[in-house]
A and B are shown apart, each in its own frame.
Chain A
């Protein structure tokens, strides 16, 4: 049986704060409740809904995206994928792909023509995932300054 059959997708809301924070802790080992509160509040005005993946009423993953205009020479009609998270026991079973496909079609609906994502060069799992989703290297360079 295809395990993705019983997975449901729905828009992520501020009511999911507990669940998202818990998944995040399980993945990163760190409580970032305030951060997520801010992200989820903004998610509702971000042009496209962010998504939750559920199995029997329990959240097993989420994707956060937004549509925005350009900044520093980024063309308009750009959609961003900010974060993607799937609980450990559901990883490697197509949940990310399901979340991404749905977000992709929502981006398409609102007129986004390019999706951007930034990944740390050591996150090979994520890079492999986005490569599988047909992403190519983009034009933006990351600069940083230590304080």
Chain B
């Protein structure tokens, strides 16, 4: 259910043709152009086990979700699906778009045999933490370590 939206939202598979749209949305959210980064990501998305998704309104991409299915790394069990990134343009936030994107990716993960979905969120991204809590996520077993060079 998409709240407060007059126009129908359509979900479809994200491809390299969406590069411009994704770079723009990303730029509007983070204030930084990351074209090279997104080019690599979108190229890889096509071999990542599950398709990544775009949400469209009247032919315009207003949000996306990037996931991948992969085997374990450092003791992560097999059949794990990852949500790498989720982005929705500002004027369409808080209208259920992220939920729509997530639910669809969720059912695609299920179809390919993924048993656990993993996500990593910065502890200061409260909007995202709240969102994943609402989706039913729990704390996982992986600990993040970092080394400043």
CB of A15 within 8 Å of the partner chain: no
Least CB distance from B76 to A in Å reads 7
Given A136-B145, A143-B132: A69 and B34 interface contact (C-beta under 8 Å)? yes
**Stretch with Cβ within 8 A of A (4 or more), from B14-22, B51-59, B93-101, B117-125:** B117-125
CB of B90 within 8 Å of the partner chain: no
Q: Could you say which residues of chain B place their CB within 8 Å of the CB of A126? A: 74-75
CA distance A116 to B143 in the complex (A): 10
Interface residues of A in 72-112 (CB under 8 A from B): 72-74, 76, 82-84, 104, 107-108, 112
Count of residues in B whose CB is under 8 Å from the partner chain: 50
Q: Could you say which residues of chain A place their CB within 8 Å of the CB of B11? A: none
Q: Say whether B148 contacts A137, CB under 8 Å.
A: no
Q: Say whether A114 contacts B138, CB under 8 Å.
A: no
Q: Say whether B34 contacts A73, CB under 8 Å.
A: no
Q: Say whether B139 contacts A119, CB under 8 Å.
A: no
CB of B85 within 8 Å of the partner chain: yes
Least CB distance from B110 to A in Å reads 5
- Per DSSP, chain A at the interface is mixed
**Nearest-CB residue, chain A, relative to B66:** A71
Least CB distance from A3 to B in Å reads 25
Q: Which of A35, A113, A139, A142 contacts B124 (CB 8 A)?
A: A139
Interface centre among A28, A32, A69, A76, by most chain B C-beta atoms within 10 angstroms, is A69
Q: Which of B71, B76, B146 contacts A120 (CB 8 A)?
A: B76
Q: Say whether A140 contacts B137, CB under 8 Å.
A: no
CA distance A94 to B73 in the complex (A): 21
Least CB distance from A96 to B in Å reads 13
CB of B106 within 8 Å of the partner chain: yes
CA distance A23 to B10 in the complex (A): 45
Can you spell out 18 A-B residue pairs with CB atoms less than 8 angstroms apart? Answer: A28-B72, A32-B72, A38-B47, A69-B34, A72-B121, A116-B145, A117-B74, A130-B145, A135-B145, A138-B145, A139-B122, A139-B123, A139-B144, A141-B122, A141-B139, A143-B137, A143-B138, A145-B138
In the A-B complex, the 4 residue pairs with the smallest Cβ-Cβ separation, listed nearest first, are A144-B140, A35-B71, A138-B144, A138-B146
